[in-house]
Amino acid sequence: MSGGVNTSAIFRAIFMRDVRLAWSQGGTGTMALSFFLIAVTLFPFGVGPEPQTLARIAAGVIWVVALLACLLSLDRLYQADYEDGSLDDLALSPLGLTGVAAAKILAHWVATILPLVALSPILGMLMNLDAGAYGMLVLSLLVGTPALSLIGSVGAALTVSVRRGGVLMSLLVLPLYVPTLIFGVGAIDAAAGMTDPLPHLAFLGAVTLVALVIGPIASAAALKLSLE
Amino acid sequence: MHRFANPAEFNRLADAILPWAKIIMAAAFAYGLYLALFTSPPDYQQGESVRIMYVHVPAAWMSMFTYMVVAAASFTALVWRHPVALLAGKAAAPIGATFTALALITGMLWGKPMWGTYWVWDGRLTSVLVLFFLYLGYMALWRGLDEEDKAGRAASILALVGVVNIPIIKFSVDWWNTLHQPSSVMRMDGPTMPAEMLWPLLTVALAFKAYFIVVFLYRMKLEINLRKLTVLSSIEARG
């Protein structure tokens, strides 16, 4: 029976469903994008409009806000499916919970985070980012943000049955985001300071790869717990 | 190990260890504090304030050690469904968080005379701070879920994800620090330590470890008795 089932078709179906949901009304896609834009523009009001000050903190601000946007949008990655019972159905699919988690994480990254990455040069402009660092801004976000989705998914899965799990989830996940933030900002600062950003980028990629190994498995284990 | 999955068996073991652990704790504290406060020499650079080290360094060691205990307990609990191991993580975590807070506070008190400020974004301080956050998350997750057993296993998954991340966090924070603050921060592991300082340090460290064992075993017994109480009262309620 299982021979007839095409697991990659199931993976694609879950992926497409989540992408569509993210961009339907009330989905996380537009909200995360708006949050990203608005939260970054708050910083010049807070620290003052001097171009030098903004340039110095641009990389850090954009990364931190991207991280928070990711966290906010991950809040209900599994919760809606858990509440309406579709997670029970998904758990029975031949893909297994690990595959389901992987599909949902990928959908989150593509639908919610990739638009932020695409928008980031405009925010770099608003924050007076050093002219030589735009390419590295996009590249470091591309390499680093998958780790945010992957690690955040574990937090979302652990708190899936907690009614207001968002705050608890950020408490669990934020400490684990520290390495990604450090290497991501490090790469941009290196590019802006005319030094070699490659070591930062390599470590950033390494963190993402570790998260790729841990994220879906730990998420599946946590989801299985809440479905018992 | 499975023998100690039986709570009664565990309680018997704990009662056998406790008196010895208490004796070692009392003796090591008395001797270690005497050495640290009276016989050890003041540092040629840091003066008397170097004595903070005899609390600070053992507390920092214990903060790491206890996280390893929590992680090992979590692993055992998840892999073998070991009920006592689940409670071991719960019992150890607040002790570890307290040691971590103690390491941070003594570090700040030490930093004021040495660096002229309570807080420096030094690599070590920062990674201990992140470790403190990991403890908080673990403890919050235990409280966050209603069902005790599920809460424990969820927290165990988190502890294991955390233990994989600790070396990465440590490394990244060191890396970040060297970029943003080229040296200037005095490192306590610079010169090799003379014997009259190393000896009190190790004695206090032993005292801390014995203290951990005493408090840990009492907390374990408490958790086991609480479970027993819940079971008994639910039996009674059913009549």
* Domain assignments of chain B as residue spans, ordered by start: 2-183+192-238
State how far Cα B110 lies from the chain centre: 20
Do A207 and B168 make contact, defined as CB atoms within 8 angstroms? yes
Closest residue in chain B to residue A160, using alpha carbons only: B145
pLDDT average, residue stretch B137-165 = 91
Q: What is the ipTM of this complex?
A: 0.87
pLDDT band for position B185 (cuts 50, 70, 90): very low
Query: Which residues in chain B are contacts of A189 at CB distance < 8 A?
Result: 179
Min Cα–Cα distance to chain A from B164, Å: 9
Minimal CA separation from B128 to chain A, in Å: 11
* Residue B146 pLDDT: 83
The residue that leads in pLDDT, A54 or B110, is: A54
Q: A172 and chain B: CB distance < 8 Å anywhere?
A: yes
d(CA B108, CA B114): 10
Sole residue written with tokens 């950020």:
A170
Query: Mean pLDDT throughout A76-85?
Result: 89
Start-to-end C-alpha separation, chain B: 35
> Per-residue pLDDT averaged across A67-84, rounded?
90
Compute the distance between CA of residue B100 and CA of residue A48 in angstroms, rounded to an integer: 37
Beta bridge partner(s), residue B47:
B43
Q: How far apart are CA B62 and CA B132, in angstroms?
A: 12
User: Closest residue of B to A222, CA-based?
Assistant: B154
pLDDT tens, residue by residue, A155-183: 999 999 888 788 899 999 999 999 999 99
Q: Is the dihedral of CA B82, B87, B89, B92 positive or negative?
A: negative
B235 vs A: CB within 8 A: no
Q: List, in order, residues 6 or more apart from B163 with CB less than 8 Å away.
A: B67, B68, B71
> In A, which residues are within 8 Å of B165 by CB distance?
175-176, 179
Kindly determine whether residue B144 and residue A168, on different chains, have CB atoms separated by under 8 Å. yes
pLDDT band at B180 (very low <50, low <70, confident <90, very high): low
Q: How far is A6 from chain B (nearest CA, A)?
A: 31
Q: Which residue from A70, A71, A215, A178 is spatially nearest to B166, judged by alpha carbons? A: A178
- Tens of pLDDT, residue by residue over A127-151, are 999 988 999 999 999 999 999 999 9
Cβ of A176 within 8 Å of Cβ of B145? The answer is: no
- CB distance B131 to B93 below 8 Å: no
pLDDT for B178 equals: 65
Q: Supply the pLDDT for residue B186.
A: 44
Say if residue B179's pLDDT is above 60.
no
pLDDT range class, residue A42, cuts 50, 70, 90: very high
Record: contact A176-B153, CB cut-off 8 A: no
Interface membership of A171 toward B (CB under 8 Å): yes
DSSP of A7-71: HHHHHHHHHHHHHHHHHSTT-HHHHHHHHHHHHHHHHHHHH-S-HHHHHHHHHHHHHHHHHHHHH
Give tens-digit pLDDT for B132-142: 999 999 999 99
Q: In terms of Cα–Cα distance, which of A179, A169, A107 is closest to A147? A: A179
Q: Where are the domains of chain A?
A: 2-227
Secondary structure element (H or E) that encloses residue A87, with its range: helix A86-92
Chain A residues closer than 8 Å to B141 by CB: 158-159, 168, 172
Share of chain B above pLDDT 90, in %: 46
Q: How confident is the model at residue B22 (pLDDT cuts 50, 70, 90)?
A: very high
Selection from B59, B34, B49 nearest residue B199 by Cα: B34
> How near does any CA of chain B get to the CA of A67, in Å?
16
